Amino acid sequence: MADPNEKNPLNVAGSFYNDLTCIDCDLCREIAPSVFTRDDDEGLSYVWKQPASPDDHRLALEAMESCPTQSIGNDG
């Protein structure tokens, strides 16, 4: 489970977030590219845009459930 105390500071405000345990596997960005992007300097994914549609929300949840390190959280 993602640690809300270890949120990546680049996450945009909202319910979905990545924490700092991300291993940059690219899975979340492949599943939900409209929500997740990569910080090239740190080599980590983060939430650059909160889901704006039901489809984006579904894909963000799919990415969260698929994350091998459980680095994606949802406070909503």
In this prediction, residue 76 has a pLDDT band, given cuts at 50, 70 and 90, of: confident
For residue range 12-43, what is the model confidence (pLDDT) as tens digits? 999 999 999 999 999 999 999 999 999 999 99
**Contact (CB, 8 A) for 16 and 50:** yes
Give CATH for domain 4-74: 3.30.70.20
Query: What is the distance between the alpha carbons of residues 33 and 28, in angstroms, rounded to a whole number?
Result: 7
Residue 71: partners with Cβ closer than 8 Å, 6 or more residues away? 2, 18, 19, 20, 21, 22, 23, 45
- What is the reported pLDDT for 30? 98
